[in-house]
Amino acid sequence: MKKRILSLMLALLMMSFMASCGKDENSSEAGTKSASEEISSVNSAEASEDKSEAASEEKSEEVSEEEEFMAYKEDKSGYLKGEQTENLNFNSKTIKALDFKGTFKDAHIDENGRLVMDDGDDLYFALFESDVMNVGEFSSMLISWNANAGDGKVQVYVSYEAEDGTWSDYFTFGVWSDKKNVSTSKSKSDDYAKMNVDTFSPKKQTTGNIKFKINLLRNGKYRPVLENITIATPEMKSATPGKYPEEAIIDVPMRSQHAPENGSRGNVMCSATTVAMALEHLGFKQSTYDTAMGTYDVEYDGYGNWLFSVAEAGSKGYYTFCDFYNEDMMKYALSKGYTIGCSTMLTQAGHVVLVTGYTVIDGVEYYVVNDPNVNSSKVEVTNYTCEYFNSVWLKSNFNNLGVVYVFQGQY
């Protein structure tokens, strides 16, 4: 692979040209680091040929969007019903709805192993509340989910036990829906904890005991269904990565968040562009703009909510979750063929990119990155030295780990 290393000046010019993307200074992405270190050059590469058209694009225009999606999902017969080929939950635990233990109110687990609302034309709300479970002491928590809400809503909450035996109130990770302009985060702070957009942080010493709660809200005929949730903390250490080769590169279609069709807000669509590229690689192609509408957070007024981003991929029939990774964990996942979204400080406001591989050039280790923040007239893959990338990805307040989107695909 022919590469050329840019000078420091050229790297700085490129970064200053590119618009920032991500969370603002008050969000969980706050704490920028300088991007003045030397970066490798952009490797010229034309965007890949389309892997396949999404099933929804093959349907008649007369078919509704909801019917179109459900037909597509039915074709994916293995979705969340078999065993994972790889365990990529390194600091997280995925709990299938089939394994939920707790109290069901107007809800049950259907024949497909999903949490669903009971039948009844007058039923518009259902609830599941888990038994107490121990996840170990933690400093931060993300709970992501895979569901299909249609025009309805899904809401996930968490409560934790403090060291003195008292429990916090339930904090919500937001209201999420497939419907545009409905999903919204619910930031909150009290004496026990803080919910900052998508990240839950306790203020008291924890015992590790938590409870989670899920609300399903119906709107019209469609009833939300939930496949699973994934609980992630920087301290969980649920698995250890195995050995991986010196190089692994995945061919993934490249996109620019600055493409004209994304409009004036394309400069803040890095997370949505990352999700769109990963979905296209997995076999579901939709526009970056439509993906952004699926990740949009009304309260935050942005497209970079980590949980809504993975929920968008999950709603299309793909097992996707948030986790906390380090370099070894990411390289192991990449070596097994899985693309990884990374939340970084490549820009001052925060920036999400899709890591598609790693390689060694002249004795220096690089990540191969589908960075959405490239000129739309010259869409190119970017190589970042692992040393530099790690410096803007791994965070001391997350136990020297970084937030990732794991696109594991179908079971």
CATH classification of the domain holding 41: 3.90.70.10
Task: Report yes or no on 66 lying in a domain.
Answer: no
How high is the pLDDT of residue 222?
86
Note the pLDDT of residue 86: 85
One domain for residues 117 and 195: yes
Q: Does 226 reside within a domain? A: yes
Residue 3 belongs to some domain of the structure: no
Q: Is residue 366 part of a domain?
A: yes
Average the pLDDT over 299-317 and give the result: 97
Check residue 68 and report its DSSP letter. H
User: Range of 279's domain?
Assistant: 8-51+242-409
CA distances from 232 to 172, 259, 334 (A): 15, 33, 20
Same domain, 105 and 40: no
pLDDT score of 4 more than 70: no
pLDDT above 90 as % of the chain: 77
Q: How far is residue 35's CA from residue 380's CA, in Å, rounded to a whole number?
A: 19
Residue 377 sits in the same domain as residue 248: yes
258 and 367 share one domain: yes
Question: Are the C-beta atoms of residues 77 and 317 closer than 8 Å to each other?
Answer: no
pLDDT score of 64 more than 90: no
Band of the pLDDT at 352, cuts 50, 70, 90? very high
Q: Give the residue with greater pLDDT, 82 vs 402.
A: 402
Chain-centroid distance, C-alpha 257: 17
Task: Give the domain-ending residue among 167, 199, 232.
Answer: 232
Q: 362 in a domain, yes or no?
A: yes
Domain match, 259 and 293 both: yes
User: Which residues neighbour 118 within 8 Å (Cβ) at sequence distance 6 or greater?
Assistant: 106, 107, 108, 126
What is the average pLDDT across 111-139?
Answer: 97
Residue 67 has pLDDT above 60, yes or no: no
Question: What's the mean pLDDT in 120-130?
Answer: 96
Cα-Cα-Cα-Cα torsion 387, 391, 397, 401, nearest 10 degrees, comes to -40
Residue with tokens 């609980």: 231
Please tell me the predicted confidence (pLDDT) of residue 257: 98
- Whether residue 214 is found in the same domain as residue 257: no
Question: Does the pLDDT value for residue 48 go beyond 50?
Answer: no
Percent of the chain with pLDDT over 70: 79
Say yes or no to pLDDT of 65 above 80: no
pLDDT at 220: 86
Structure tokens of 107? 């809800």
For the purposes of burial, counting CB atoms within 10 Å of the CB of 124, is it exposed (0-12), middle (13-18) or buried (19 or more)?
middle
CATH number, domain with residue 138? 2.60.120.260
Mean pLDDT of 1-23: 40
Burial (CB count <10 Å: 0-12, 13-18, 19+), residue 332: buried
2 inside domain: no
Which residue did the predictor score with more confidence, 214 or 79? Answer: 214
pLDDT level of residue 221 (50, 70, 90 thresholds): confident
Check whether residue 142 and residue 258 sit in a common domain: no
Identify which has the larger pLDDT, 64 or 155.
155
Is it the case that residue 157 has pLDDT exceeding 60? yes
Q: What is the pLDDT of residue 197?
A: 97
Nearest residue to 394 via CA among 142, 8, 31, 39: 31
Pair 211, 107 in one domain: yes
From the centroid of its chain, how far is CA 398?
A: 17
Q: Say what the pLDDT of residue 35 is.
A: 34
* Reported confidence tier of residue 85, pLDDT bands at 50, 70, 90: low
Boundary of a domain, candidates 232, 251, 279: 232
* Residue of 364 and 62 predicted with greater confidence: 364
**Which position has the higher pLDDT, 247 or 48?**
247
Give the Cβ contact number of residue 194 at 10 Å.
16
pLDDT given for residue 37 in this prediction? 37
Same domain, 136 and 265: no
- pLDDT of 360 reads 98
Pair (21, 117) in one structural domain? no
- Whole-angstrom Cα distance, residue 228 to residue 370? 28
Residue 82, in any domain of the structure: no
For every residue of 135-197, DSSP letters joined together read ----S-BEEEEEEE-TTSEEEEEEEEEETTS-BPPPEEEEEE-SSTTT-B---EE-SSEEEET
* pLDDT exceeds 70 at position 191: yes
Q: Which pLDDT does position 41 carry in this prediction? A: 37
**Residue 314: partners with Cβ closer than 8 Å, 6 or more residues away:** 144, 145, 146, 147, 227, 320
Domain boundary among 197, 232, 267: 232
**Does the pLDDT value for residue 318 go beyond 70?**
yes
274 or 20, higher pLDDT = 274
- In this prediction, residue 271 carries a pLDDT of 99
Residue 79 lies in a domain: no
- pLDDT of 70 above 70: no
Choice between 8 and 260, residue whose per-residue pLDDT is larger: 260
Please give the mean pLDDT across all residues of the chain: 85
202 and 255 in a single domain? The answer is no
Please state the rounded mean pLDDT for residues 87-115: 98
- R_g (Cα) of the chain, nearest Å: 21
Do 98 and 148 reside in the same domain of the chain?
yes
How many structural domains does the chain have? 2
pLDDT (0 to 100) of residue 47: 36
77 has a pLDDT exceeding 50: no
